[in-house]
Structure 1
Amino acid sequence: MTRTAPSYADLERDRLAILVPELLLSGQMIDRSGMAHLISAFGREVMGQIAIEEWMAASPVYTHRMRTALGIDGDGVEDMFKCLQLDIGAPPQFMDFRYTVEDKYHGSFFLQHCGALMDVEPMGDDYVTTMCHDIEDPTFDATAIATNRRARIRPIHRPPRRPVDRMPHCEWTVTIEPDRDELPLPADAEEMFTTRAGVLSLSAIDASATDGWVDYRGHLVEDLQFREWSRTALVRIAEEVALQHQLLSLGFLKSLRRVAESDDQVTEIFRKQLVGIAGLAADRLRQALDLDADVHGLATVIGLHPVLGPGQYTGVTAQVRDDAVVVVRIPQDSDAVADGGWITLLDADHLEPLQAIATAVDPYLVVSGAESTDGALEVTVVRGDAAIKEPGEVAVARFSSGAAFEFTDRGRSIPITPISSVV
């Protein structure tokens, strides 16, 4: 008996509503997986530069894609804030953005809780400044220009916190002025738009669906609730968020190549990043979806894991055979292979990311072999006799408070009313 693991398109609406915020949080933790290895290899300043370049390369592209997918076709601050709510750089609750809209082209936001700050603050003021000043200034603007190239995001206050328990964690203004010069599209983003990931076609949203929202053309809302969206819209959002992972990893790779001493060093650090986020995200996905710690749970996690998706990009599939073996099929001619990203790190001699995923589901699941067949790498996973220790790369990524973060039910989505419209 053979069972193929579900893709996003195979899930019911309630499962997708649980999955989407998990995917957004997973994307935020990519940097928790990669940056520790950059600091070890190059130091804090180079780490900061790579973070700037990776986000500036990826965020204009994936923000444009999400705008197009969900009909966010305006050029004001509400439209920008909608995009932030669907951005792996600002996962709900973990990065607890609170928005105020003054009028179409003026607004502000503050972070009542910043999970990224909680991760970095124990490392000292220098690291906080690198994140909250050096990285945020250019990357916020790079995200904003996908909505309007005359947009600027500027701080009112930000960490290091004085006093040390200052709340909210930071506050920013957003302004769009018609006589202001347009910011250019970053050169790396221009190139990223031409990748297979940048132009990939994903599942269409059924505009006639009656089971929830089919776009985000209406009011900006506080605490976007994914259970209020239609099933096909959630499928598309999940696919886009998985693709955000891929685009960010490509931005990371592009920047890493500029500073690395050799191709071997590039591969080593890139693989460590992948192993860390692969295991960490697998652990959260299994728990969030309440999956069994067995081969069936593993196959489902692989089918939904963002570093192995979306399926239209990677072609990765997982099957359970005879209730005992998971067979993971990784095509060698996919768009993901053509882009040269994470998927190219998997070969018969380097299956560490898949083992990290398996170990996160059940420590007794072991990658037992791999062979090339019919243009794909087929990897088998079985239950072994001894538990396998969690990889060090995953343990490093667990320093993030996101590893154990719990989402809470905040009720229904509430429209945010522009101040200028209140009499």
Structure 2
Amino acid sequence: MSIEAQSARSFAALSRADLATLVPELLLCGQLIDRSGMAHLIVEFGRSGMAQVAIEEWQAASPWYTRRMQRALRYEGDDVVTIFKGLQLDIGAPPQFMDFRYRVDDPQHGEFWLDHCGALMDVEPLGDEYVTAMCHDIEDPTFDATALATNPHAQVRPIHRPPRRPADRHPHCAWTVIIDEAHVPPTMQPHTEQVGRSAAYTVELSPIDAAGEGNHDYAGPLLSDVRFQDFSQSALVRIAEEVCLQQHLLALGFLIAVRKRVDEDKAREITRKQLTGIAGVTAQRIRDALGLPDDLEGLAAVLSVHPLVNPTQYVDSEIRFGGGRLQLRVGRRGPVDIDGGWPTLIDGEHLEALQALVRGVNPRFTVRVLDEDPAGLLLAVDVTDEPAPECVEVAITKVSTGAAFEFEDRGIPLPLYVV
């Protein structure tokens, strides 16, 4: 990756090839947000309480970010194909790690199945109760909430699902999607309505320029896999911004759900732990995926595309790099500050998430407050003599098999037509 133009605007500074590498990483890291947060919820609320928070956060976020991606890539519709395209660009279903396969019978009927479910691999060792919580209690209402964004009469129902019987059953699960006017639409929950009123849902991101090589939308047939290198550079910029925004919307849903159950101080404590874990793992995966060095210049490049401070239209931040010095300003005047999202959890007394982020690039990095006032927080990144130990929140997130997952090139995808 070229890191010469760190003053350029976020994702637009990246090449088409680097963006195609980065987008699936961002989708996977979005899925790992739950791996980062769920352990802390189990401590506070137990398994059933954790499951209920997960249901509410995904119900709150997924309909809105699904609609945003439909509009951005011009595949709006009300059929099964539209639902399946949305799943391919959803942080809840990152490619290959959650290996969704699809069949379309007609515009109102289809099936999908998971040849590999990374989330199942994470929870199966915990026993059938945790598998049932994820694959039954959480999936039933959240799949329908995602389908709701496309057609209120869509229902997603299992053909089979874990706990697996026999233990090596494959595919891991299979589901039908049926659109029928007789289906009673699910009721939109208050937490979903609340996120729909957020600044995140309405923020304007980079328009897709129809010039240049590659696909500018996903308006054609459903493909067996989304191959991101087939999109144009401009389309990939927009997709990357949307995926970062998906993460922010999910974090808002998480915070809303947690706030129902504990006081504000405890809610912020839990959400800071969630943010700390995912910030560190995401920084490390971005560094490795883009082949960046572990010096300050590499960290500046990671920061320029890290979801904590992106998209720039939503998060008020500035990276200042030059003369061997790196500073980060976290402002307080962006739409994310209206929503009370991730960056509002960071202040001079709560730097854990930023410490995890910079140490995800190099464990010898540390952040130091230069100035703090109502307009924002200014930090310097220093280099210490000794590496810091990995923090507990990052170690918990790395328990997921997704933390070390490697993507592969699957070649040219096939269009999927009605069978």
2:407 and 2:165 map into 1 onto residues whose CA distance is: 28
Residue 68 of structure 1: aligned partner: 71
2:291 and 2:47 map into 1 onto residues whose CA distance is: 38
Amino acid at match of 1:331: G
> Structure 2 matches for 1:8-407, cutoff 5 A?
8-206=11-209, 208-260=210-262, 262-323=263-324, 325-372=325-372, 375-407=375-407
1:154 and 1:3 map into 2 onto residues whose CA distance is: 47
Q: Deviations over 1:78-137 (max 9, x none)?
A: 110000000000000000000000011100000000000000000100000000000000
- Residue 4 of structure 1 deviates from its aligned partner by 2.9
1:403 and 1:357 map into 2 onto residues whose CA distance is: 14
1:326 and 1:6 map into 2 onto residues whose CA distance is: 17
Amino acid at match of 1:233: A
1:5 and 1:364 map into 2 onto residues whose CA distance is: 26
Deviates more, 1:329-338 or 1:275-284: 329-338
- Residue 302 of structure 1 deviates from its aligned partner by 1.0
Q: Deviations over 1:242-293 (max 9, x none)?
A: 0000000000000001111x22211111100000000011110000000000
Amino acid at match of 2:26: L
Q: Deviations over 1:183-203 (max 9, x none)?
A: 333322222111110110000
1:3 and 1:276 map into 2 onto residues whose CA distance is: 26
- Residue 352 of structure 1 deviates from its aligned partner by 1.1
1:155 and 1:2 map into 2 onto residues whose CA distance is: 49
2:320 and 2:52 map into 1 onto residues whose CA distance is: 41
Q: Deviations over 1:338-393 (max 9, x none)?
A: 10111111111111111101111011111133312692211100211111111110
- Residue 3 of structure 1 deviates from its aligned partner by 5.1
2:390 and 2:361 map into 1 onto residues whose CA distance is: 11
Supply the RMSD in Å over aligned alpha carbons.
1.4
Deviates more, 1:373-382 or 1:287-296: 373-382
1:300 and 1:140 map into 2 onto residues whose CA distance is: 35
1:210 and 1:413 map into 2 onto residues whose CA distance is: 22
SS at match of 1:160: coil
- Residue 6 of structure 1 deviates from its aligned partner by 5.3
Amino acid at match of 2:268: T
User: How many residue pairs get matched?
Assistant: 416
Amino acid at match of 2:290: L
Q: Is the 8 A contact 2:320 2:326 kept in 1?
A: yes
1:217 and 1:179 map into 2 onto residues whose CA distance is: 28
Residue 409 of structure 1: aligned partner: 409
Unaligned 5+ runs, structure 1: none
2:258 and 2:376 map into 1 onto residues whose CA distance is: 28
2:397 and 2:318 map into 1 onto residues whose CA distance is: 26
Q: Is the 8 A contact 1:16 1:234 kept in 2?
A: yes
- Residue 7 of structure 1 deviates from its aligned partner by 0.6
Q: Deviations over 1:162-198 (max 9, x none)?
A: 1111100000000001233333333222221111101
Q: Is the 8 A contact 2:6 2:304 kept in 1?
A: no
Unaligned 5+ runs, structure 2: none
Q: Deviations over 1:287-316 (max 9, x none)?
A: 000000000111111111112211111122
Q: Is the 8 A contact 2:97 2:116 kept in 1?
A: yes
Amino acid at match of 2:126: M
Cα 1:294–1:153 shift into 2, 3 Å: same
1:369 and 1:388 map into 2 onto residues whose CA distance is: 18
Percent identity, please: 53
1:62 and 1:237 map into 2 onto residues whose CA distance is: 11
Q: Is the 8 A contact 1:348 1:370 kept in 2?
A: no
2:369 and 2:66 map into 1 onto residues whose CA distance is: 39
SS at match of 1:418: coil
1:114 and 1:141 map into 2 onto residues whose CA distance is: 19
Deviates more, 1:273-282 or 1:184-193: 184-193
Q: Deviations over 1:315-346 (max 9, x none)?
A: 222121212x2100111111111101111111
Deviates more, 1:79-88 or 1:354-363: 354-363
Cα 1:5–1:280 shift into 2, 3 Å: farther
- Residue 75 of structure 1 deviates from its aligned partner by 0.7
1:180 and 1:394 map into 2 onto residues whose CA distance is: 43
2:127 and 2:335 map into 1 onto residues whose CA distance is: 41
1:5 and 1:391 map into 2 onto residues whose CA distance is: 32
Q: Is the 8 A contact 1:24 1:91 kept in 2?
A: yes
SS at match of 2:260: helix
- Residue 413 of structure 1 deviates from its aligned partner by 2.3
Deviates more, 1:237-246 or 1:309-318: 309-318
1:274 and 1:180 map into 2 onto residues whose CA distance is: 38
